[in-house]
Each structure stands twice: as C-alpha cells, then as structure tokens.
Structure 1
Amino acid sequence: MSQANHDNLIGIKDVATRLPKLINKLPNIVVGLKQAYLRTESTPAGLGLAFEQAVKRNPHGTALIFEEQSYSYTELNEWANQIAHFQLEQGAKKGDVIAVIIENRCELMATVIALAKIGVISALVNTSQTGKVLTHSINLVKPIAVIVGEECREAVDAVRDSLTLDQNHFYWFADQNTRQDAGQAPKGFINLAEVIQTAKKTTPKQLKSVTGKDGLFYIYTSGTTGLPKAVVFKNSRWMLAYGTYGHVLNLKHDDVMYVTLPLYHATGMVVCWCGVIAGSSILAIRRKFSTTHFWSDVQKYNASAIGYVGELCRYLMDAPESEIDRAHRVTKMIGNGMRPNIWDKFKQRFGIEEVLELYASSEGNVGFSNIFNFDNTVGFSPVPYAIIQYDKDKEQPILDKKGFCQKVKKGETGLLIGKITSRSPFDGYTDADKNKSSIMHDVFKKGDSYFVTGDLVRNIGLRHAQFMDRLGDTFRWKGENVSTTEVENICSEYDKISEAVIYGVEIPNTNGRAGMAAITLKNGAELNDEDLVNMAKTFKKELPSYAVPVFLRVQKNLETTGTFKYQKSKLKEEAFYPDRTSDRLLILLPQAEGYCDINSEILSNIEQYKYRF
C-alpha cells in the first residue's frame, strides 16, 4: 500500500512524495485547467471544437481503430462533416435531439462528432434496451430522428409503432465498414452512409455557435427510481472533463487508448475519449468486452492505456495467468470501480504504473480524480463538496441542534453531496420533478444548495475520498446502475406474481450487487418448473442482461414499515442464504435457461466462487 498507514488516510507528507512524478505533467495540466475553467457558458466550446483542434495538431495521425478499420484525424473529421451537413440539409438545428443507437464501432464515433459540431444533442441510448424500456428512452427526449445500427435494428423495429417521431426520419448504418460498402437499407430506413456521399467535407459554420451552455449528450441513468432518466450533459461539462481527466492522462500522438466499455456511458464516451482528444492520440475500440481477447487486442493495437470499470478488472484477474499478461506497453488506466482487494494485485500482475481512478456520475456536479496516483481512492476533488453524517437505518442525514447537516471527520464515512455553484452547476434530468428530489437546501446555512449523490464515501484526508456504497433504490451490477422500480414493474407483470421488491445483494468475490427479487404470488398460485423457465425468458426479453434478477425469494407477504416502505435492509441482510429464512430461494445460474432452488451444493459453489456471474 502506498498510503501512510493501513487506514489509507492521506496526509501532506504523502502528497509531497508524489509531487516529483507530477512535474512532467504540470504543463499539460495547466493547459487543461485553462480549457476547463477559463470559459463562460456563452464561449464556443465542446467536443466538436476540441476535435477540430485535435485535427489541426495531428491531421495525418491515426484517430480511430476498430477491428481492421483505421481512420486518420482528417478522414474521421471529413466523415463527420458529411453527416453534419446532411443533417443540416434535413432541417436539424442547434438544440434538436437525435437518438443514436449504435454499438461500439466507427459509425458511432463519426455520428457523435457530427452532431456535436452543429449543436444537435446525441441521445446515447443503451444498445441492450428492448421493449417498453427502449420505447420510453427514445420518446423521453423527443428526438427529431433516430440513427440506428443494423445490430440494433430488430429492437427498434419491434417498438417502432410506439415511437413518437416522424416515420421518415429513421436512419440506418449497415453492420460493416460503411465507408467502403454502404450496404442495402431495409424497408422504412434511410441509408445514412449512402445519402452523405455527396455531402460537403468542410467544417460546418455552425461549429462556432456551439457554446458551453448548449447540450451535447443525453446519457441515460437509472437515477433513483423508475425507468431510465435522460441526463443533460452540456458542452461546458464536457470541457470540464476534457480539461481535467483528459489532460491528467498526458497522452501523446503515438499513445493508444484501448476501450471496450459501452460508449453510451460517460466513462467510455466522455472520460476515455477526452484523454485521446486532448493528446491528439489514438482511440482503439472493441464492440464488447472480451476477457479472452483483451490483452491480445492490446498487443494488436499497441495500446499504452486502457479504460476500465471494476467488473472488467475482476474478469481479467479471474483469467488464468499468461505470458501475455505483461507483453504490452500499457502503463496507464482510467475508469472507476477498482476493488481495493485487487488494486495492488492488478497493478503487479499486468505491469500497471498509474491507476487514474475517478468518481463522477452522469447527472452529478461533483467529481474526483486520482491525480496523485494513490491506491484505493477515487482521488482528489477541486470542486466544492461535503461528506455529511448519515443514518442508514432512518435513511436521512444526521442534523445538529440548529437543524443543519454535519460533516464527517477524517477517516469516517458519510453521504457525499456536491455544492451547486456557477462553476459546478447541477444540469440535472429532463424531468424537473426529478431534479427537485436530487437537491438539498439549507444544508449548512440558509440559502445554500447541494446535489445529493446517493453515495456513501469515506473522508481519507486532503480532499481525497474512498467510495464505500450506494444508497437508495439503485444498485450497481456489471458496471451498470440498476433501477429497482424498473425491474419491479417488469417482474410484477408476470401473470403469477402479485408484487415484487428488488434489491442488490453481495456475491463473494464480485463487484457491486447482484439483483434479487422478493416476490409474492397471486392467491392460490404456485411456481412450477415451467414457470421457472418462463420467468427467466420473460425477464431476459424485457430487461437488459445486467438488470435480470439473479435471485428470487418467494414470500407470502412483503414486510413494510409504518410508512409503507419495504424492509429492504432486512432482505439484504438475509440475502440468498437458506439458513436465514424459511422462504423459497431461487437462483438463475450463468448460462441456465431457468431458475432453480438454492441447495447446499449451489450455496457452497457460490461461496467458493465456482460460478462466473
């Protein structure tokens, strides 16, 4: 451990020992901070402008690699410009929204750059969504058009009649290298690769009118309850990430960032790509993460940096050791969720020197970055925040005699809140009512306002924090936030289920919490073998894979508090252990078609980590 003591608390001496290694980064960090903070909401800013600047710095250098495809900064820029000009011809204007549903590949990146340049907001729809959830996500942001990859077309076709947008504005990319072969569009879709071929390759003049206050992305999050929520991600916020995370990475023209994270999430699309654009470096992407191919891909693309989430690191650690583990030039990694129990082991096994762990949320206004490269911390935050005392049982802050919140002491854990200021605003959700519930007023004095992150963190000193857990009605599994209400609604639609309560439970040696549903059955109903298969089939169809409950608990009645809140704390404690309850407990094992009862053998295998959830 690199901290001063076993408690991971950080003091001035610890930071002083790290300063020499920061010296070579300082010029880049200073430039980044100017980019991030010396701007106003009305100043031209954002992804489109930053990418143009990267093109000028490195016009002939490689910008993007995917499979066997490779594009220089100039080539990718001209491609994006053609998409931008075509959309302008169709009437798109600044502030409009276009839903983008494409898996990790070059067409996604070109589309995002294009829309950013003309001030059109890219609604980055989760490509694993289907059915009612997909319908909700698209209609929520009122798009003027949809751009879909062939790999996601079937899901869009299934809900097309439920979408509230012009049927003539469904655009399509073939699932192939469309710069070489545009393909043949299916009925009802316009082949975007084909129609842009005669469009201008020059930079659209609208680029200069895109400012910090303009929207860049809608990124979907489960928030705290209900169906996915669309978070407004402004260009000013992108510039903040670009100026901080992007420049701290200190990448050069020949550096290659390998990203397998889903690019509809901010960690991949914003954080990882920011570092690449800041250095005019190379982004190498893979459609989906693969443990088997990860390090061979790193070798293939000669990657020097990788993007990560906690689950990815665990999967790589679970894989058998190999001579390829260190046969690469990767020394840096950026992301979030690295577990303390594998942090040092991961660095040692794979030869990593710098873990730029960070903390941020799509909707939040507070961020941390591990710029001093300490272990087991989300790092340092330059923005105003507080960690307040919190009663988990009562689910509320602990107030002093005057009714104000109280900060935790060094070494203690509490609720993280971010102060809302002109420099750290809360951009919020598309739904104003949901914004209200995310803000606390009169926290330390009358008139102040703070964003409630819903996360418990530990104050480890010198404005550094350590992530501990999530509160509320979401939990994190497989690198995704799972909305309990969304899953409860789907589960309750099964014909034999009367009511469902969803919560996360910890499985030994895994990251986050796996979904567990406590269900009550309709009068006289019983679950037979056919139900166990049908439930799994139904949940898999209606929910993203990460949201499908791993465990079921069949109860006669669901216990509630005096205010009709479910007793989730008790359910979480009893989890999936048969000796803690007489209720029937079921599990959906990896690769299984249906749920089965948990017996002593299955429980033993879970505890010995014989299943790979």
Structure 2
Amino acid sequence: MDENILKDTSCIIDKREYRKRRKALFSKHNDLIRKILDAPFENKISWGSIVEDCAQKFHDKIAIKFEGRVLTYKEFNELVNKHANYFISLGLKKGDIVEVFMTNRTELLVIITAVSKIGAISSIINSTLVGKSLSHALNKTPGKFIIVGSELLDLFNSVKNNLDFSKDQQHFICPDNELASIPRKFSNLNQVVEDFPVINPSTTSSVRTMEPFAYVFTSGTTGLPKAAVRTHYGMFGGAYSYGLLMTDMSPEDTVYIPLPFFHTTALSVAWPAAFSGGASVAIGRKFSVSKFWDEIRRYDATIFAYVGEMCTYLMNQPPSPDDKNHKVRAIIGNGLRTEIWKDFKKRFNIDFIGEFYGQSEVPAVFINLLNFDCTLGMCSSPYALVKYDFDEEKPMRNEQGFMERVDLGEVGLLLFESKGTTEFPGYVNKKATKAKLLYDVFTKGDVWINTGDLLREQGCNHAQFFDRLGDTFRWKGHNVSTMEVEKILNTYKNVRISCVYGVKIPGTSGSAGMASIIVAGEFSKFDLKDFHLHLQSNLPSYAIPKFLRFRISLETTPTLKLKKYKLKGEEYDINVTEDPIYVLLPNKSDYELLTKDIYKHIQNNKINF
C-alpha cells in the first residue's frame, strides 16, 4: 500500500487545545466520570434498574414517540413490567434466551427491556437477513421463546423448515396492527400480557452490571453471522458516556433514531443516552433520505443517531433553504467521512458531532467527547496501533517476535488489551472467540483483541478511522463478510472460484462489494440474470456485489492466500484491465457491462449508489 496514504501528519491533535478541553470536561463532570469508572467493580447497575429509576425520576415526561403514539416513562415502565411478569409466569429466568425478530417500533424496546429485568438475554435478530444467514442466526442462539413481529412473519416462514425447534419452545406474534393474523401455534403477545401486574418484578435487583444483556449478530471477520455478547455495562456506558458526559441530555431533548435496533449504535448508544437525561426517543421505522428532515421537524428532534452512510446521503441531496430549519444541536454515531465532516457541520448547522468507534463484541470504545473534527475521539482503555504487513495480511513482528506501535500520523492495526474491564467477552462460539485474540504482542503472555480495523494515530489518545481489513467491508451501515459472500457465489453452478472484496465509490461511505470470478465453462454461456437471482435468494441486498470482474485466473501469495489487495487496488477501473466488468446500477434489476460512459458517470459522482 502507498506509503503516502499510510502517513498523514495534518490530522494530529493539538496538545494545548486537547489539555484545555479535557480540563474543562473533567472539571464539569468529575463525579460522573468516577461513577462510570466504578460501575463495573460495584456491579449493581443493570438496564432494568436504570429504566426503573427513569420511571421514578421522569415519570410524566415522554419516553417514546412512534408514529403518533407516545408513552411517558411511567407508562413505558409499566408496559415493560406487564411483559416481564408474564414471562416470569412462564418460567423465564436469568440466563435464558429470548429470540426477538422484529423491525423498529415501540414493542421491540418494551420486550428487550422486559427480558433484561429478569436477567434473561434478548437475541436480537437482524431483520435484513435472508436464507442461510437468517436460519443460521435463529439457530445459533436457540431461545426459550421466539417473538416474531407480524411484519416479518413471511420472512420467518421462508426459513422455518430449516430451524431447530425444541419441544418446549414457545412462539409469539407481536402484531404490528390490529389486522395482523395470528398463525397456529403462535400466541398474540399483546393480548396475553394485558392482565398482568404493572409493578416492578423482584428479579431486577439480582441482575448485575457485567452480565449479558443481549446478543447482537455481527458478520465479524469470517463466516456466517456470529452472536456477539452485549452486557448491561454497555447500556450503562451508553447512558452515562453519550447521554450525560457527551451531550448533556435533558427532558427538553428528543433523540431521533432511524437506525435498526439490532445495531449497537441504536441499541447501546442512542437509546440509553436519551433515557439517561429523561429525553424522548423518537423511533424511525427505517431511514429515508427524502423524509429525514421532515421526521426531524415532526418529532421536534434536538439530536439524532447516525451512521456515516446516512450523512453521505443527506449531503448528496440538493441544497435547500430548509437545511438549517431544525433544532438539532448534536448528533451521535459513527462512520462520518472525514472529507465531508466540516461541510456537513456547516451546511446543517450542527454544533457537536459525537462520533465514536466500537465493535459489538469488544468492550472498549473511542468517543469524541472533546468535539474535535475528523476523529473517532479518545479512548481510555489500553489500546495499540501496530504496524501491519499488507502483503502477508498480518501484523508485523520484530526480531524479538513482538509487535511495534506506529508513529504519529501513521496507520496501524487497532488492538485492545484483553484484561480488566476490557477483557474480551467473546462470541457464543468459543472457536470464533479464540480466533479474535492475539498473544505475546508486546510481552510474553499478554493477550490482545484484534479488531481487524486500521486507524491513524493522531496523538493525545485520539485516532482516525482508515479502513477495515481484508475479510470484511462496510456498506450501507452493515459489516459484510467477504467469506460469507464468497460461499454463496461459489455454490452457483457456473462459478469455479470467487474472490470478494470492498471497493470505494465516489460520494459514498464505506466500500461496495466487488467479486472477481473464474467461471466454470465458457463465459459466453454464463447466465448473469440467473446468477443475480441466486444472490438475491441467499444474501441481504447490502451484501450483493455491485461489481463483477470475470478473470481467467486469480493470483495467490506464497501462503496460498488470494491476493485481494492488488484486486482491491485496481477496483473496477476499466482502464487497467481487459477483463469484462459488470455493474449492478441503482434501481436496476440486472447486471450490465461497465462501459467507459458509465464508469465516467460513477467517477464523477453522477450515479448515487
């Protein structure tokens, strides 16, 4: 990789300004910071206890806004308690799993909270999964209950023959409307909880801070989705770090969340941040670029949750006199591209960008508490950015066998030390857990978590995101496993072997999928339409490659790994290869040949992916 790209000293944090802002933060919030640091050791705070405290402190303030319906904190907690007390009557206990397969709406937050008050674990299934990925996720964490939103019943039914049901497993439908039908062997959850008491269950007090709260499914770096463990500490940290320390939440605020709650940005950051100060959560069913600012004004939002792709879509809209016609003072999220950061703040008059970096399965984060531009923020956990060998696709080790940290402005692989509060909780799958760890990094016997991400060292405990390594890429707010996509491609009858990687498209965040393919047989007989149907049947839309490159052979390293970095560097540039390249353009149903005119339009940002 180009050395000029890997080193950039223009983004280094000014030490004097850092000390000034840090001093002001600690002077204002010293007691709060101490509470955050002490919570894991006291081990008494849970998400259920936080909600109960909110109900007592903010009882008549609005907790939830969703499509014309509002709930106060008192009403939200009482509805949660009805569900929790009903679940307890069925024998649900601490450590049990409840699979929840629903889209964004009030009932989803109610169910997750009710389950947490018992000490049980919500396995929150990604509602965009299809086929093998969906059945794998549902089978990976078999629950005592399965709760399906009526809006996803058809999708659930499409994989039910591949699910491993147990005899005592109970099934519930959570209707999205009064007309929703209830299939045989399913109970109507809204009806069965109605007569149960609204008092707080006694189980809440026995739930501990460091115990599991939820499983969220991440593509990780290899294979099918893995169930990553989220603890109650993650919800506590979201509440206090992002809600009080970062944004000074109050009942005067409304936080608009259009992101899915199976993602941690919505689940463990924006939602608890709002509740920490008695603010309202305005739930968006899904993000719509054309309706976004109307929704912001409709809910009177003062803060919204984002991923970088959202901000890119908003910036790509034609400028409007209404761009500043809102009350938004801060945004919380991750992935805002550095090249549009300052323009985004200026165009939409945003004072505070609460960028953060974290992974579902890693108990450590970077947070932009000091409101610097173009940074992930600072990290208080033990971390290191180490030198990386891009040819061999592994961290470098010196003559003594240890890794070395990068210098200021340089790019390195991000590692977190696995000890104390940042000890890796792991995946449900123990083999996957071991693969995530690196040993003897700086000294014999030390253990570090490999994030698989490249960051730039900015100094003052700050870093800037650079890229995600080989086996995953991020597109449309989702982490996509290249190995998972390759497996689907390779099962197609006329594909001999495929190599999948992410490529940059001007005007977009993250990387779009591209596949280099060697066909079995003659290329002229390769049925692109049928191939696309195969992909649609087995992959979520965000994981389907946007570009296909057909090759005669694929190069490998001496260790027989496919040379993805060379292919990734060439991207979909038709000027560097004679290989036929096909593109799946927005709103098109089939792949078409990438011509010079189409390539030019893409490079000039005239086609919005």
Name the TM tier (shorter chain): over 0.9
User: Which residue in 1 is equivalent to 2:162?
Assistant: 162
Out of 156-165 and 117-126, give the one that drifted further.
Answer: 156-165
Corresponding residue of 1:65: 65
Q: Does the CA contact (< 8 Å) of 1:170 and 1:189 recur in 2?
A: yes
Query: In terms of mean alpha carbon deviation, does 389-398 or 119-128 score higher?
Result: 389-398
1:278 pairs with 2:276: yes
Residues 500 and 516 in structure 2, CA contact (< 8 A), matched pair in contact too:
yes
Q: Which runs of 5+ in 2 are unaligned?
A: 1-7
CA–CA separation in structure 1 for the residues paired with 2:273 and 2:352: 14
2:292 aligned to which of 284, 291, 294: 294
Q: Secondary structure at the match of 1:367?
A: strand
The question of 1:13 aligning with 2:16 is answered yes
* Alignment match, 1:539: 535
Aligned residue identity for 2:28: L
Q: Report the Cα offset of residue 558 of structure 1.
A: 2.4
Corresponding residue number in structure 2 for 1:606: 602
CA distance in 2, matches of 1:399, 1:564: 21
Q: Is contact 2:363-2:421 (8 Å) kept?
A: no
Contact 2:40 2:421 in 1 (8 A): no
Amino acid in structure 2 at the alignment position of 1:277: F
In the alignment, the residues of structure 2 paired with residue 490 and residue 6 of structure 1 have an alpha-carbon distance, to the nearest angstrom, of 42
Is contact 2:438-2:447 (8 Å) kept?
Answer: yes
Q: Tell me how far apart the structure 2 counterparts of residues 17 and 342 of structure 1 sit (CA, whole Å).
A: 26
**Partner residue, 1:255:** 253
Matched, 1:237 2:239: no
CA contact (8 A) 1:55 1:280 kept: no
Contact map agreement 1:365 1:418 (CA 8 A) in 2:
no
- One-letter amino acid of the structure 2 residue matched with residue 30 of structure 1: D
Secondary structure of the residue aligned to 2:71 is: strand
- Count of equivalent residues: 600
CA–CA separation in structure 1 for the residues paired with 2:138 and 2:128: 13
Q: Do residues 561 (structure 1) and 550 (structure 2) align?
A: no
Counterpart-to-counterpart distance in 1, 2:166 and 2:83? 19
Q: SS where residue 21 of structure 2 aligns?
A: helix
Q: Give the C-alpha shift of residue 311 in structure 1.
A: 0.3
Deviation at 1:41, TM superposition (A): 6.1
Matched, 1:583 2:579: yes
Structure 2 match to 1:211: 208
**Corresponding residue of 1:26:** 28
1:240, distance to aligned residue in structure 2 (A): 3.0
Query: Which residue of structure 1 aligns with residue 508 of structure 2?
Result: 510
**Following the alignment from structure 1 to structure 2, what is the Cα–Cα distance between the partners of residues 257 and 128?**
24
Is 2:125 the counterpart of 1:125? yes
Residue 424 of structure 1: CA displacement? Answer: 1.4
- Per the TM alignment, residue 525 of structure 1 is displaced from its structure 2 partner at its CA by 5.6
Deviates more, 1:48-57 or 1:241-250: 241-250
SS at match of 2:542: helix
Separation of aligned partners in 2, 1:555 and 1:48:
55
**1:554-590 deviations in whole A, cap 9, x for unaligned?**
1222222232211111111221122212211111111
Distance 2:357 2:160 in 1: 37
Unaligned runs of 5+ in 1: none
C-alpha distance in 1, partners of 2:429/2:154?
29
CA drift of 1:425 comes to 1.3
Distance 1:507 1:149, change over 3 A: same
1:194 matched to 2:191? The reply is: yes
- Identity %, equivalent residues: 37
Q: 1:573 aligns with which of 569, 591, 604?
A: 569
1:269 paired residue among 267, 270, 295:
267
Q: Deviation string for 1:100-126 (max 9, x for gaps)?
A: 111111111111111111111111111
Equivalent residues in 2 for 1:290-369 (5 A)? Answer: 290-369=288-367
List per-residue Cα deviations over 1:149-196 (Å, max 9, x = no partner). Answer: 1111111111112212247512111123xxxx4854123321100111
Q: Any idea what SS the aligned residue of 1:352 has?
A: coil
SS in 1 for 2:421: coil
Match of 1:578, SS?
A: coil
Letter in 2 for 1:604: K
How many Å separate the matches in 1 of 2:87 and 2:497? 46
Q: Which residue of 1 aligns with 2:5?
A: none
Inter-partner Cα distance in structure 2 for 1:365 and 1:446: 23
* Structure 1: distance between partners of 2:349 and 2:418: 40
Residues 253-272 of structure 1 show CA distances to partners (whole Å, capped at 9, x for unaligned) of: 11000111111000111111
Structure 2 letter corresponding to 1:447 = G
Residues 409, 561 of structure 1: CA spacing in aligned structure 2 closer, same or farther, 3 A cutoff? closer
Residue type of the alignment partner of 1:190: S
- Comparing 161-170 and 398-407, the one that deviates more: 161-170
CA distance in 2, matches of 1:542, 1:194: 35
Deviation string for 1:340-372 (max 9, x for gaps)? 111011101111000011011111233110011
| Secondary structure of residue in 2 paired with 1:39 | helix
Residue 239 of structure 1 deviates from its aligned partner by 2.5
Structure-2 residue corresponding to 1:56: 56
CA deviation string 1:488-521 (max 9, x = no partner):
1111222222222111011112111100111121
After superposing on structure 2, the runs of 4+ consecutive aligned residues of structure 1 that deviate more than 6 Å are: none
In structure 2, which of residues 413, 416, 440 is the aligned counterpart of residue 415 of structure 1?
413
2:3 matched to which residue of 1? none
